[in-house]
Every structure is written in C-alpha cells, then in structure tokens.
Amino acid sequence: MTRRREGSGMRPVRSLFGDILPEGYGRKTAEIQRFQAFFNSLDDDPVYACVQVLSVQDGCLTIAVPSPGLVNYLRLHTAELSTRIKQQFGQNLSLKMIVQPGGRSLGAEKARSKPAQHFSSQVAERVGKSAAGIDDEDLRAALMRLARSIKEQG
C-alpha cells in the first residue's frame, strides 16, 4: 500500500516541465489541435481523414498524409482547401504537404468503428457447398475454414 506524505499534493504537469518546454508550446499545441479538429470535421471527402497536422508557423500550415498519391490529390484541391481554411480561421496560410508513411490511412477510422458482422448458419452452409465444387485445394480448404468459422460464430 502506497502512503502519501502529508502536504505533498500532486503538482501540475506544466509545473514539472515548464522550464523544458519551449516558449509558447501550449499555444502552438492548441493551434495544431484546432486545425486537426477542422480536418477531422471535413466529412465531404474521406481523404481529409488521413491528414495529420504537424505545425502552423510563419504563415505555413504543414500537413502529412500517408502516401504520395494523397499529396497529389490534395495539391489538386489546394485552392479549395485554402479557401475553406481562410473561411474557418480567417488566416491566409500556405500549405506544405509531406508524405509520412504509417500515418492515418484512408478509411481507417471507419473500418475500426464498424461492428463485427454475424452470419447465419445458412451462409455457412452455402460457403461449404460452394467450396466442394472448387478444384484448387488451397482455395477449397480456405473456404471450408471460412464456413467453419461462420458456424462457430453464429
């Protein structure tokens, strides 16, 4: 059992790291979070869900996406994106886009939020019957495993 010393209350994290963090760290972090929330709220194009805001400084918004194709796509829509940013934040920022593999993938949030599907035993039977007519042994075995998995799930 851990005993707490009398009068030794917990200190805020800011007081512990205040001397280490650069000046304006909290303000910069809050600004990045505001821009990230902006991109997260743009649901008219799923590409925006992949955007990770890295920094906002010296009139430049730096964002990262996981692939060069997405950078090219966003570059084609830079004018529209700049207009939306100006409308939302009242700032005319230049955009710097970089590739950062392993970042937020296209559709990753939606894939995680989908509930697991459960299939009926009739589906398992149909998969099993379909597998019986397959000549390729590996494919047939995979389909049979799928049918068993569906039965166990149901």
Over residues 27-51, the pLDDT tens digits come to 899 999 999 999 999 988 888 999 9
Tell which residue, 32, 74, 77, 34, has the closest CA to residue 57. 32
Q: Band of the pLDDT at 136, cuts 50, 70, 90?
A: confident
**78 with 127, same domain?**
no
Q: Band of the pLDDT at 15, cuts 50, 70, 90?
A: low
- Answer yes or no: is 3 within a domain: no
**39 with 67, same domain?**
yes
How many domains would you assign to the chain?
Answer: 2
Q: pLDDT digits over 62-95, tens only?
A: 999 999 999 999 999 999 999 999 999 999 999 9
**82 with 130, same domain?**
no
For the whole model, what pTM was predicted?
0.56
**98 with 25, same domain?**
yes
User: Which pair of tokens denotes residue 52?
Assistant: 């990770």
Give per-residue burial for 122-148: e unless 16+ CB within 10 Å, then b: ebbeebbeebeeeeeeeeeeebeebbe
**89 with 147, same domain?**
no
Q: Cα 87 from chain centroid?
A: 24
- Answer yes or no: is 148 within a domain: yes
**18 or 39, higher pLDDT:** 39
Domain residues for 55?
17-112
